[in-house]
Amino acid sequence: MNPDRRTILATGALALAGAATHSVPAEAQISPKPIFSVPATTIPIVGEEGVFPVRRIYCIGRNYAAHAIERGSDPTREPPFFFQKPTDAIQNVAIGAVADHPYPSLTRNYHHEVELVAALKSGGSNISPEQALDHVYGYALGLDMTRRDLQNGMAAEKKPWEIGKSFDHAAVLGPIHPVPKTGHFTKGAISLAVNGTVRQNSDLDKMIWSVAEQIAKLSEAFELKAGDIIYSGTPENVGPVVKGDVLLCKLEGLPDMSIRIV
Ligand code: MN
């Protein structure tokens, strides 16, 4: 063994001995520092200084009978199904603003889906429908924007929908309204107009699975947690938008939300 190697081994042994006999220095107990920062996704809350931190975005598919039919399924027999969007797909839209929304890449059939969104302050597994609403912090008006041609193309090939649903800016969202101010939403008119012409027009009471039932069903598949939000499905008459279109979303009991496709 050459002297250098002997020195290295000795130093290593000393270090091990030190670790065994001395307490760990305070600085060593701090978790490793990220090598760069990634912005957290948050949603403004009406009437609060604090913002809502987002953990996951869940979406339910085909939750209004007439929309299920237009998408080619039988609404009377199918259990609810869910998909996710990436958290940083959220585009926050302020009350009273007309936010610019970029027309995404790759699609030639970009669709609007207006939806009620529930935001959770707590969660769990196997939550009962009776207790589900206790976990809701508040509600918002949202748009589940969809590259329909890509979604349909992938579905036809029995491949994941991801590219049709889970792209940048695909989760358009108004601010969250805390439950004490609005109550829970089980009924109420929901609509979407494009350039002043109403395209989608329904009522929350036509949802096949209520928000409480969605939370219960979701919690069978995933452990829900504070910061999760749920897009609760869109009524019928989804359709395409093009650059320059102005979308106006309305939900009875909440302020309007508007975007312009650019
Ligand atoms: Mn949807």
Give pLDDT tens digits for 88-122.
999 999 999 999 999 999 999 999 999 999 999 99
- Residue 147 CA, ligand 1 centroid: distance in Å: 11
**Closest C-alpha to 174, from 101, 65, 82, 85:** 101
- Residue 45 CA, ligand 1 centroid: distance in Å: 23
Q: Which residues of 243-253 are buried (b: 16+ CB within 10 A; e: fewer)?
A: eebebbbbbeb
- Residue 74 CA, ligand 1 centroid: distance in Å: 17
Which pLDDT score is estimated for 165? 98
- Residue 232 CA, ligand 1 centroid: distance in Å: 7
- Residue 61 CA, ligand 1 centroid: distance in Å: 6
Cα–Cα distance, 139 to 83 (Å, whole number) = 19
Name the pLDDT band for 24 (thresholds 50, 70, 90).
low
CB atoms within 10 A of CB 46: 16
- Residue 10 CA, ligand 1 centroid: distance in Å: 64
Give pLDDT tens digits for 152-192.
999 999 999 999 999 999 999 999 999 999 999 999 999 99
- Residue 26 CA, ligand 1 centroid: distance in Å: 49
Q: Are 107 and 146 in contact (CB under 8 A)?
A: no
Q: Are 173 and 90 in contact (CB under 8 A)?
A: yes
- Tell me the CATH architecture of domain 41-261: Alpha-Beta Complex (3.90)
- Residue 164 CA, ligand 1 centroid: distance in Å: 11
- Residue 152 CA, ligand 1 centroid: distance in Å: 14
Which pLDDT score is estimated for 26? 62
- Residue 83 CA, ligand 1 centroid: distance in Å: 9
- Residue 169 CA, ligand 1 centroid: distance in Å: 14
- Residue 230 CA, ligand 1 centroid: distance in Å: 10
Residue 7 has pLDDT above 70, yes or no: no
Which range, 1-5, 61-65, 163-167, is most confident?
163-167
| Percent residues over pLDDT 90 in the chain | 81
- Residue 81 CA, ligand 1 centroid: distance in Å: 11
Residue 128 has pLDDT above 60, yes or no: yes
Residue 124 has pLDDT above 60, yes or no: yes
- Residue 58 CA, ligand 1 centroid: distance in Å: 10
- Residue 238 CA, ligand 1 centroid: distance in Å: 9
- Residue 182 CA, ligand 1 centroid: distance in Å: 23
Overall average pLDDT of the 6-24 stretch: 47
Q: Assign residue 179 a region: left if phi > 0, alpha if psi is -120 to 50, beta otherwise?
A: alpha
Q: What is the dihedral of CA 7, 13, 18, 19, to 10 degrees?
A: 130
What is the average pLDDT value for the chain, to the nearest integer? 91
Residue 223 has pLDDT above 50, yes or no: yes
Name the pLDDT band for 16 (thresholds 50, 70, 90).
very low
